[in-house]
Amino acid sequence: MSYKHIGPRTRKGWGWLLGLLIFLLVLILACGGIFLWARDRVGGSDRVMPGVRLYGADIAGCDRDQVVEILREKGYAPLAGKSLTLSLPGEELRVPAEELGLVPDLEAEADAILAWGHTGDRNRDALSLLLDRNRTADFPRPWEPVLQEEPLRELCSRAAEELEKEPARTIVFPDEETLQITLGTDGACVDREALLEEMKTALASGALEVEYAPEVIPAEKPDLDQIWAELSTEPVNARFDDTYQVQPEQAGKTFDLNQAKQLLERAKAGETVRIPLLALEPEVKAEELESLLFRDLLASVDTPLTNNAVRTKNIEIAASMLNDTILLPGQEFSYNGALGERTEEKGYGPATAYLNGELVEEVGGGICQLSSALYYCCMLADEEILERTNHMYYQTYLPLGMDATVSWGGPDFRFRLKDEYPIRMKAWIEGGQLKTEIWGTKLDDSYVELEYHVDYTVPHKTVYYEHRRVKSGNRVITDYGRDGMQVTTYRVRYAGDGTLIERVTEAVNVYSARDEVIVVAIGERPKK
């Protein structure tokens, strides 16, 4: 083995080079270390870059959660977790401040802080840090809230749903005994735009509580004066209709208006007030009117019947047709109109009657006794006589001048009822008598009496006839004859105490004389 000897000069040259290499190596290592240090300082995108200050404090290297926590502790979002409270009558509505745009997004702000200085290339970020060691960034940056109106409008809508209502109307219901008034309740209306402005004003001043009362829509108040006028009715007296049927009375009703007003003043909305109804009794009731009808016997007369069976039968038929006939005030009565024509088909038979002064057999003969009795009663009842004719010869079944002859085709007997109440005529045969009555309503105690005066008389003549069937010495009277006369009748009215009110002439009656007829045997007629 051989060795090469290196001299001193050779060692000196290599030493310099070696030193340079070592220096360069150290420099490279130093730079690499510094770069690694810088690279470590800038960290990844999940770490805060050096030079970032938050509220004046260096937060380099903090992660996202740490930044968020610092922001929260420093009050960067003072309204976080709070809500705007809308206080309504009986209820509270809330909306988070976050939904209103009043709370910054802490995570977004932390992300912005984390993103500062990061380019996404860690080496480049480390180089930038080494080249500009003095660069800094101060956080948080100014944040201006942007109020979101939509949540506020939704809050207004919710308030309206809770509060708005139509006023309940007042209900008025009368029954038989009370007037029931259920008071209406007030309604409510929400002015959404006004409420929106009120909440915005409150938020602008930093307030998170808003009290709101809706606009009241007052319920309609009952008009008691009008209700009283419409409900109050006057009592209606029982009355007669046009046919004198009794129409029943009707009670009136009302209520104490002052009492009702006091009750309503003390009542609350929605409360039912019961106001007693007062009955107003009518002065005249149906039973009173019914008791007035036909209660009094105004007039009556009994007239004797003859032994003529056919005549009596005719009168009985006529009486049955007249019986229970009712005449209303102001109505006229016609005897011929009520009975109609007297015919055999109706059951009438021929009986003695006078026609033009002659004694004849006439179908329906004898019914003048009923017309005369009715005339007599009408005068006693003080009715208005419209038509009446006396017989040709005076009759004996009634006082003089108080008869009324009738015949189909005339004459007739007619009168008008002047009373305030109807009358009922009664006629029937009983015990050999024709009984005739007028029933009605007597309103006072006055009464009528009938009088007559014979003004003059005309003595009847006696006429003799001879007949072969009459035996000698016998006399057969076929007609007893009647004197003629003039008779004046009077209707005399008296007060209940007997005081004369008036005496009026009723009629002047002229009766003809009728010869007495005597039949004797042939040759026995008296010489004049």
pLDDT digits (tens, 9 = 90+) for 209-237: 999 888 898 888 888 899 999 889 999 98
Cβ contacts of residue 288 below 8 Å, gap of 6+? 238
Same domain (yes/no): 303, 248: no
**238: in domain:** yes
Residues 111 and 215 in one domain: no
Per-residue pLDDT tens over the stretch 378-437: 999 999 999 999 999 999 999 999 999 999 998 999 999 999 899 999 999 999 999 999
Answer yes or no: do 163 and 273 share one domain.
yes
Residues 297, 436 within the same domain:
yes
- Shared-domain flag, residues 427 and 480: no
Burial code of 489-501, b = ≥16 C-beta within 10 A, e = fewer? bbbeebeeeeeee
Q: Are residues 298 and 284 in the same domain?
A: no
Same domain, 126 and 206: no
Q: Residue 202: pLDDT above 90?
A: no
Is 353 in the same domain as 400?
A: yes
Structure tokens of 425?
A: 């005529």
> Helix, strand, or coil here: 315?
helix
Higher-confidence residue of 8 and 202: namely: 202
Listed in sequence order, the residues at least 6 apart from 83 whose beta carbon sits closer than 8 Å to its beta carbon are 94, 95, 96, 97, 208
Q: For Cα atoms 76, 78, 82, give the angle at the middle one, nearest 5 degrees.
A: 140
pLDDT: which is higher, 8 or 221? 221
Please check whether residue 73 lies inside any domain of the structure.
yes
231, 254, 289 - which closes a domain: 289
What pLDDT was estimated at residue 40?
A: 58
Sheet of strand 475-479, all strands in order from the earlier edge strand to the far edge? 462-466, 516-520, 475-479
> What whole-number distance in Å separates Cα of residue 411 and Cα of residue 134?
153
pLDDT band for position 508 (50/70/90)? very high
Section 152-162 average pLDDT = 88
Q: Which helix (H) or strand (E) holds 154?
A: helix 149-163
SS (H, E, C) 212-264: CCCEEECCCCCCHHHHHHHHCECCECCEECCCCCEECCECEEECCHHHHHHHH
Provide the percentage of residues in the chain whose pLDDT is more than 90: 43
> Which structural domain, as residue segments, surrounds residue 357?
293-441
Section 370-379 average pLDDT: 98
Distance from C-alpha of 441 to C-alpha of 296, rounded to nearest angstrom: 5
Q: How far apart are CA 434 and CA 428, in angstroms?
A: 6
Is residue 64 within 8 Å of residue 111, measured between CB atoms? Answer: yes
In this prediction, residue 132 has a pLDDT band, given cuts at 50, 70 and 90, of low
The residue type of 414 is R
Return the C-alpha torsion angle 396, 398, 402, 408, nearest 10. -70
pLDDT band, residue 30 (cuts 50/70/90): low
Please report the pLDDT score of residue 3 as a whole number: 44
Q: Is residue 4 part of a domain?
A: no
Distance (Å, rounded) from C-alpha 185 to C-alpha 220?
A: 8
Give the pTM: 0.59
Based on the fold, state whether residues 429 and 298 are members of the same structural domain.
yes
- Say if 2 falls within a structural domain: no
- Per the CB < 8 A criterion, the answer to whether 417 and 364 are in contact is no
Domain endpoint, select from 233, 260, 289? 289
325 falls within a domain: yes
Is residue 15 scored above 80 in pLDDT?
A: no
Mean pLDDT in the chain? 87
Per-residue model confidence (pLDDT) at position 325: 96
% of the chain at pLDDT higher than 70: 90
Q: What is the pLDDT of residue 200?
A: 86
CB 274 within 8 A of CB 176: no
Q: Looking at the structure, do residues 311 and 337 belong to the same domain, yes or no?
A: yes
Summarised one tens digit per residue, pLDDT across range 167-183 is 888 888 888 889 888 88
Q: Of 426, 441, 456, which marks where a domain is finished?
A: 441
Question: Is a pLDDT exceeding 50 seen at residue 1?
Answer: no
- pLDDT tens digit sequence for 481-491: 899 999 999 99
In which band, very low, low, confident or very high, does the pLDDT at 109 lie, cut at 50, 70 and 90?
confident
Both 275 and 179 in one domain: the answer is: yes
- 267 domain-assigned: yes
Q: Which of 137-146, 150-159, 348-357 has the lowest mean pLDDT?
A: 348-357
* Count, residues in the chain: 528
Tell me what pLDDT residue 130 has. Answer: 64
* Model pLDDT, residue 134: 66
Please tell me the distance from the alpha carbon of residue 64 to that of residue 112, in angstroms, as a whole number: 10
pLDDT single digits (tens) 48-83: 878 788 888 888 888 888 888 888 888 788 888 889
**Do 459 and 422 reside in the same domain of the chain?**
no
Count of domains observed in the chain = 4
Q: Could you tell me which residues are beta bridge partners of residue 325?
A: 425
Judge whether 99 lies within some domain: no
Q: What is the CATH number of the domain that holds 514?
A: 2.20.230
Residue 414 domain-assigned (yes or no): yes
**Looking at residue 12, what is its pLDDT?**
57
Which residue would you say has higher pLDDT here, 83 or 360? Answer: 83
